[in-house]
Amino acid sequence: MSKHCSCGSVMKLMLRTVIFAKKVNINNVPVYNCEGCGRNDVFPGVKEDVGKLVGQLGAAPIAKSISFDEMHEWASVLSQAKLRSESLQETMIASATEERINELLDLLLLATSIGDDVWKMEIESRLSQLSAQYIL
């Protein structure tokens, strides 16, 4: 997946470590990286969730590493896709996303059938993390 940078080069989607307040490493954040000028743009579909995470850390966070792909379904799908192929291809991401959505829908069905509302809500919020990427 790619888009054009203002410098004219191509920006490619990749997973990178974002360092916050020089202390906190947020690993596996989906960003567009420009090969020409080195610019990094956090992928629009996860920007809000990265913002929320940073907000929770506060102004003076303690040094630590966070794996964004453990918190966000789509980042998790991307990091799984990256295990299969180094460059993130659109068709591969789409099919990996669909697979994960189907898994979650199965879980949702199960949660509904046993009447576990807390679990149901958790799965619904995970599903919404996978659809956020389409609202660009």
Q: Nearer Cβ to Zn ion, position 25 or 33? A: 33
Torsions phi, psi for 116 (to 5 deg): -95, 95
Min separation Cβ 18 and Zn ion, Å: 18
**Shortest distance, position 59 Cβ to Zn ion, whole Å:** 31
Binding site for Zn ion (CB under 5 A): 5, 7, 9, 34, 36-37, 39
CB closer to Zn ion out of 32 and 74: 32
Q: Which is nearer to Zn ion, 39 or 120 (CB)?
A: 39
CB 126, min distance to Zn ion, A:
33
CB of 3 to Zn ion, least distance (A): 11
Cβ distance to Zn ion smaller for residue 5 or 75: 5
